[in-house]
């Protein structure tokens, strides 16, 4: 076995989970992790059966995360990192258990199920200097998103004046969704006890808000939100629109929906500064549009001369498209590097600070939408 | 002379006016008007000089609209239609004078400088059954916009659930705009006495709101607006964002700006229904994107088999692009037809009803933005 | 009447002709011509009837071009310019008659029906120093095409190394075309006696070759062609592909078709130089893609800071699309200017030199395709 | 260890090789291979050092492929599959050695260095019924390329009439390339002894031709080629254009270049049939444009309702882009499946039949270009 690999345990992501699949491919991508333990089901037998297909030995297939944290922490070859990919409301309690055992964490988003959980988790992470924490806001790991972040840091578009971000999807599956098939199809995503504060905001909106702050370097100061159910029949909030006042005086608009009919699946961000603007869309992720206030629109391409930073986060040459998995794997790759490398190198993966920020935003949205007034983020 | 042509008079649109140029090309486009009179300057000599370049005889180049209304109405061959292309706050008073003389009107947008003027003008128009009134919300005259309108009427995307519209421009001219050059460059556009209720809403936003209602067939019922100055130095409102509750229960978002840096000039609308969605952008005006909830995205093309209605509003074959002027001219062409044709044919050009609606919307936005609350349109 | 206008006569373009419609709108666009005479049918009555709808007096509606040339040349107020929009094989004989009467000519493409006619016509034009001749290769009049031409003259992409041009259409009308409806629909376009040397090359290919030479500043030196009938049933050449060796050593490829199924209607050109490349497509005519060999792709936009030349050939502001008619009208506008302006100003409209060149190219293609060998252009 | 994994050996792809990196990621992607042996350098020490970074035990890091074939074939746990990613002219001799030892082969393209080698290799593969052979024409493994292939098989666009394919790149690196840096940068790619028959055709063109035949289901019958050096200074053929007559009577055009200046990196294919056409471009790989002869253009999206087949070759949901590596990995995944699965299931990965076909094509191109005549493929 490659002794350079980090040993990785997994909580969640069983056979039917697509995000589980994504995490595991990402972990394998750069050969920096060996998946050696996991909790794939509360049923011990099912957990073992699935673990087996991943090449995990029977005794390291657990049925509870507590058991896994306890037993792995006692092994000499115990896991160094745990990846958590369970529903949102369980993120905090699971993560805390591993933090107590000094095990590093990669957690799927959102940071936590609600603001209260988020604050507790944040405190817990900060209390343990031995571990590191990465949050898979994976869109921020696209090379051209990071290029955008750094172009803004370098003042290429001047002082930010406006941010427009949207993440819209269509969960209706091309059918008139109804209570029965929604429950079957969307599962815990329509149960607030599991999905947390807000279905659309915790599942999708959190990515969009994170992306806006990640690229712009700004935070929301005050927001005005309108969360609403657009589709009929299934009780869930499926649409949210938010006006944002950012800390530097910039304005912004945010829209997220899971009922934008037409098979639409769009994450798009535009940042306007005093000297130009930037645009990035996930459906064309290898390009970044830069509009200087004077002069031609530029299409910066991943890996090409015009986008030097992006090369660090790419694996293949310009002209050959990279996609969602390549970006997701960037978080795993960088996290491994940060665990091995003790230098003060800059890392770009999202962490607990960003996680707490998204939880504050979602909470403020709920308050604002209910009270129909501008709400301060705190 | 072609006796089939309507005789047309013009108020405004002197040598430096670009919209004047646009109106005159549109009037000539289909050979249905003969420009025979005009007020191009308050200075009689300048008015005559410019009129001459248009082939207008000296005695029909006037220096005030009142004089023109009076004298033309007394001639046997007096103008049948007047086109008004002066700054917004003068639209009402000018139009009223011609209405009194039973002269038909084509007016540039916005309908009026403010809601009070709009109501007066609306009443005046309705009081005279002999005349017709067209408002050049020209974007609604693009063939594929009308195709979209009719597709929605035919229930192709089901019940409308969400509308997202934006019209953003960059008036900074690629330079750090300052008070001095702004005054020179933007002229009356930054003077609220002339531009009317709101610079950004009267100049640009009015088009976006009109387009949203035109295509969707809906009206705003309640709105929450945030009008703001984003650029520094010049005192003017240059950015407005509005959340909209439509009459049928649909939600929507609206953004307009004249300080979206980067040479951006974008009018874009997306309408989401219960069975699919539509998207149209002015920069690619010959296409309409139709996303059914199940099945492939379709690019409907102007003039092609898949967009039958669009053929009625096109002059050239599919595959050959039409643009802004072709669309603008559609309003002149249809208006001429409606004046000659006494049948009950359906016409698609915007009229006073739509004009009043836009004025109500802008007024509500001002109230909402000031009071930071949802405001009912009435 | 505006005495600044040029008096224009028209040969061809009757009520069912779409190109006739295009020419007349173009002539009106900038108010520089007055259509005062015409031959719209060989049947005198039909010619008069149609002329009347255009406001032409009865005595100037002729039934033969000879009659028109003769009578108009004898009038004091006779036409100064004639526009010829008849089928290709008649272009030469008609043009010559007007040249003899010292009447300036705007002719639809192709220059002539075949090389023999082209040479005669060319000689005739050159023999009369009093007249000017414009050929409506209208695609060369798009502002961004001219921008491209001048960028290359300024060495922005270095020495030209490769040119790829295509103009493909689908004349099948979405149906399995057959002999009967083809004859009805395509009319003279499938009759070589009328369409001239080659249906696909004379009708469409001539534009593509002209565009390639216009933008690149190069001419073909040797070519290898393969002209072929792809669709079945109707006897006509509907597809032609040509390899080109240009005079400066550059290579190139050319493809034209009228049977590219799928409602495709695409004119596209890419020019590669030693320092970068340019791309323009008619379906997105307001933009020009510039790829420097180092640095980001640039989208130059008509009328914006980055495309200064284009402003001269535009009528409206950047951000508002122009189309086919705006470009076509540029030829009429510039031709009027060149007739009035005796200075040595540079004009960009296509003339007889370019016309002869296209005829040579088409002729060489026919020889090469027949003999299956490289043929020198001469 | 996961005993379900295939044990894989690698020949070539040392630390500086980008294609080596690509193959290894692809092998790991779906957890179906374990890399257990390799030849990474002719220098034993260097081979061991690099193998170590991949977690390969010292005794299985070899310095010649012969040694590896011999020793691995004697081990009980010897490799089941070898991946060959050496320069073209060595493909045949290496592959043959492993075929003799009954080891299955995944080979990088081109199939062989020249037609002679290709024929020998083909015969060798066919002579051993125990092994399977896959050729990494990776572009054919994009889900939407396979969707296109099957749509054509299902007669969605009718009988194929025309194919237009191009693969152009810019190897100049944004600098005026010269002999010295070319030798350093392009290495064996400009040495015909190593790259084989033709630099541009063996390296890039082979992909384009394969793609054209793969999607269309056709083969070239006769071709007319023009291979040429466009860039100066470095002796290599860098541009090739080919006219193709396909076996079913269809026509086609092919262009490949490595000196298409401007950072261009474009693989694009369009297939026209009697009822419509298809277009796919690698830079937007998750979409396939389908133009029916009547009706709107459709954008089929990977993984969506409209592209059922594509789901089989996807790992993530529609709306989330996949890229080059995901496609490359499809060949590894399917090959593993085909080795384990003895049923008659259909596999889509390219094999030796397609390999031989590409070699015939390249050979015919060389003959045609030299003799300036149409050449029959045989």
In chain A, positions 258-287, which contact chain B (CB-CB < 8 Å)? 259-264, 272-277
b (16+ CB within 10 A) / e for C192-203: bebbbbbbbbbb
Separation between Cα atoms, residue C68 and residue C42, nearest integer Å: 12
Is the same domain home to D150 and D122? no
* Closest CA in chain D for residue C273: D261
| B29 and C CB contact within 8 Å | yes
User: Residue D3: its pLDDT value, please?
Assistant: 61
Q: How many domains does chain C have?
A: 2
Residue whose entry in the numeric block shows the structure tokens 């139709």: B290
Assigned domain for C1 exists: no
b (16+ CB within 10 A) / e for A69-81: bebbeeeeebbbb
- Give per-residue pLDDT as tens, D211-224: 999 999 999 999 99
Question: Cα–chain-centroid distance for residue A20?
Answer: 14
| pLDDT higher than 80, residue A186 | no
Is the same domain home to B149 and B80? no
Is the same domain home to A109 and A251? no
List the single range of C189-203, C220-234, D130-144 with lowest mean pLDDT. C189-203
**Alpha-carbon separation of residue B8 from B5, B30, B88, B118, B324 (angstroms):** 9, 14, 21, 24, 22
User: Residue D1: its pLDDT value, please?
Assistant: 42
List the single range of A78-87, A263-272, B238-247, D363-372 with lowest mean pLDDT. A263-272
In chain C, positions 155-214, which contact chain D (CB-CB < 8 Å)? 157-158, 161-162, 164, 170, 172, 174-176
Look at D162 and C274 and tell me if their CB atoms are within 8 Å.
no
- Look at C194 and A299; give whichever has higher pLDDT: A299
Q: With bands split at pLDDT 50, 70 and 90, how would you rate the model's confidence at C188?
A: confident
Expressed as residue numbers, the domain containing D360 is: 141-318+349-376
User: Residue D144: its pLDDT value, please?
Assistant: 98
For residue A316, list chain D residues with Cβ-Cβ distance below 8 A. Answer: 18, 21-22, 323-325
Mean pLDDT of D160-173: 93
Between the two ends of chain A, the Cα-to-Cα distance in Å is 48
User: Residue B106: its pLDDT value, please?
Assistant: 98
Q: What is the helix (H) or strand (E) element at residue B156, kind and residue range?
A: none
User: Shortest CB distance from D300 goes to which of B296, B300, B304?
Assistant: B296
User: Residue D136: its pLDDT value, please?
Assistant: 98
On whether the CB atoms of residues B207 and B255 are closer than 8 A, the answer is no
Separation between Cα atoms, residue A127 and residue A239, nearest integer Å: 36
| pLDDT higher than 80, residue A6 | yes
- Look at A104 and A318; give whichever has higher pLDDT: A104
Is the same domain home to D16 and D165? no
Is the same domain home to D185 and D113? no
Is the same domain home to A119 and A197? no
Is the same domain home to D223 and D368? yes
Q: Which chains touch D (3 or more CB pairs under 8 A)?
A: A, B, C
Q: With bands split at pLDDT 50, 70 and 90, how would you rate the model's confidence at D154?
A: very high
- In a mutational test of the C interface, the residue from D159, D262, D271, D272 whose CB has the highest number of chain C CBs within 10 Å is D262
Assigned domain for C47 exists: yes
Mean pLDDT of D100-116: 97
Assigned domain for B260 exists: yes
Q: With bands split at pLDDT 50, 70 and 90, how would you rate the model's confidence at A183?
A: confident
User: Residue D241: its pLDDT value, please?
Assistant: 97
Strands B239-246 and C265-273: what pairing? unpaired
- Give per-residue pLDDT as tens, C123-152: 999 999 999 999 999 999 999 999 999 999
For B176, the token pair is 């750090």
| D234 and C CB contact within 8 Å | no
Assigned domain for D324 exists: no
Mean pLDDT of B238-242: 96
Q: Kindly report the CA angle at C194 between C193 and C198, in degrees rounded to 5?
A: 75
Question: Of C115, C137, C159, which marks where a domain is finished?
Answer: C137
User: Residue D178: its pLDDT value, please?
Assistant: 67
Is the same domain home to D305 and D276? yes
- Grouping H, G, I as helix, E, B as strand and the rest as coil, residue C290 is strand
Is the same domain home to A236 and A370? yes
Separation between Cα atoms, residue D145 and residue A217, nearest integer Å: 40
Question: Of C137, C162, C195, which marks where a domain is finished?
Answer: C137
Written as one string, the DSSP assignment of A12-35 is E--TT-HHHHHHHHHHHHTT-EEE
pTM summary value: 0.96
Q: What is the CATH number of the domain that holds D147?
A: 3.30.360.10
C-alpha count within 13 angstroms, C-beta hemisphere, residue D52: 7
| pLDDT higher than 80, residue B337 | yes
User: Residue B1: its pLDDT value, please?
Assistant: 42
Which residues are within 8 A (CB) of A77 and not within 5 positions of it... i.e. 6 or more apart? A7, A36
Assigned domain for D82 exists: yes
Separation between Cα atoms, residue A140 and residue B256, nearest integer Å: 27
Is the same domain home to A195 and A96? no
Torsions phi, psi for C324 (to 5 deg): -60, -45
Is the same domain home to A113 and A175? no
Mean pLDDT of D261-269: 88
| pLDDT higher than 80, residue B186 | no
Torsions phi, psi for D289 (to 5 deg): -90, 125
**Mean pLDDT value across chain A:** 93
| pLDDT higher than 80, residue B248 | yes
List the single range of A313-327, A338-352, B82-96, C117-131 with lowest mean pLDDT. A338-352
User: Residue B194: its pLDDT value, please?
Assistant: 82
Question: Of B94, B115, B138, which marks where a domain is finished?
Answer: B138
For residue C28, list chain B residues with Cβ-Cβ distance below 8 A. Answer: 28-29, 31
Is the same domain home to D62 and D35? yes
* Closest CA in chain C for residue B301: C263
Assigned domain for B334 exists: no
Which residues are within 8 A (CB) of A123 and not within 5 positions of it... i.e. 6 or more apart? none
Q: What is the CATH number of the domain that holds D60?
A: 3.40.50.720
Q: With bands split at pLDDT 50, 70 and 90, how would you rate the model's confidence at D328?
A: very high
Q: With bands split at pLDDT 50, 70 and 90, how would you rate the model's confidence at B175?
A: low
Look at B251 and A228 and tell me if their CB atoms are within 8 Å.
yes
List the single range of B176-190, B266-280, C102-116, C229-243 with lowest mean pLDDT. B176-190
Provide the β-strand partners of residue C267: C167
User: Residue C1: its pLDDT value, please?
Assistant: 42
Percentage of residues of chain C with pLDDT beyond 70: 97
User: Residue A177: its pLDDT value, please?
Assistant: 64
Assigned domain for B23 exists: yes
Assigned domain for A256 exists: yes
Strands D33-39 and D61-62: what pairing? parallel
On whether the CB atoms of residues C366 and C198 are closer than 8 A, the answer is yes
- Give per-residue pLDDT as tens, D172-191: 876 566 666 667 777 777 77
Separation between Cα atoms, residue B367 and residue A319, nearest integer Å: 51
**Full strand arrangement of the beta sheet holding D33-39:** D61-62, D33-39, D6-12, D81-85, D104-107, D133-135
| B257 and A CB contact within 8 Å | yes
């Amino acid at each position: 076995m490659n002794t350079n690999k980090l040993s990785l345990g997994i909580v969640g992501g069983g056979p039917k989970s697509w995000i589980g699949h994504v995490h595991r491919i990402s972990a394998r991508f750069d050969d920096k992790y060996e998946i050696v333990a996991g909790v794939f089901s509360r049923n011990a037998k099912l957990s073992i059966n699935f673990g087996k297909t991943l090449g995990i030995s029977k005794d390291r297939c657990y049925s509870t995360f507590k058991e896994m944290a306890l037993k792995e922490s006692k092994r000499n070859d115990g896991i160094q990192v745990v990846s958590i990919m369970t529903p949102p409301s369980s993120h905090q309690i699971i993560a805390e258990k591993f933090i107590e055992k000094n095990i590093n964490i990669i957690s799927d988003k959102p940071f936590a199920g609600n603001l209260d959980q988020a604050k507790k988790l944040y405190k817990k992470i900060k209390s343990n200097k031995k571990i590191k924490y990465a949050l898979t806001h994976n869109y921020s790991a696209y090379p051209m998103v990071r290029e955008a972040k750094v172009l803004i840091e370098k003042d290429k578009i001047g002082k930010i004046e406006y941010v427009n971000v949207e993440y819209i999807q269509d969960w209706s599956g091309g059918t008139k969704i109804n209570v029965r098939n929604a429950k079957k199809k969307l599962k815990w995503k329509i149960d607030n006890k599991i999905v947390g504060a807000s279905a659309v905001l915790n599942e999708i909106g959190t990515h969009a808000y994170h992306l806006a702050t990640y690229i712009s370097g700004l935070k929301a100061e005050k927001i005005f939100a309108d969360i609403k159910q657009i589709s009929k029949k299934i009780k869930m909030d499926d649409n949210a629109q938010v006006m944002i006042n950012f800390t530097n005086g910039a304005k912004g608009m945010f829209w997220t929906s899971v009922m934008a009919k037409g098979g639409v699946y769009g994450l798009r961000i535009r940042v306007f500064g005093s000297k130009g603007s930037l645009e990035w869309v996930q459906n064309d992720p290898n390009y970044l549009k830069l509009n200087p206030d004077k002069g031609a629109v530029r299409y910066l391409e991943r890996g090409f001369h015009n986008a030097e930073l992006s090369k660090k986060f790419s694996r293949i040459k310009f002209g050959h498209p990279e996609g969602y998995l390549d970006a997701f794997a960037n978080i795993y790759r960088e996290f491994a590097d940060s665990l091995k490398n003790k230098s003060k190198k800059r890392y770009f993966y999202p962490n607990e600070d960003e996680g707490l920020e998204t939880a504050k935003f979602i909470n403020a949205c709920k308050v604002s939408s209910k009270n129909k007034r501008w709400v301060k983020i705190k």
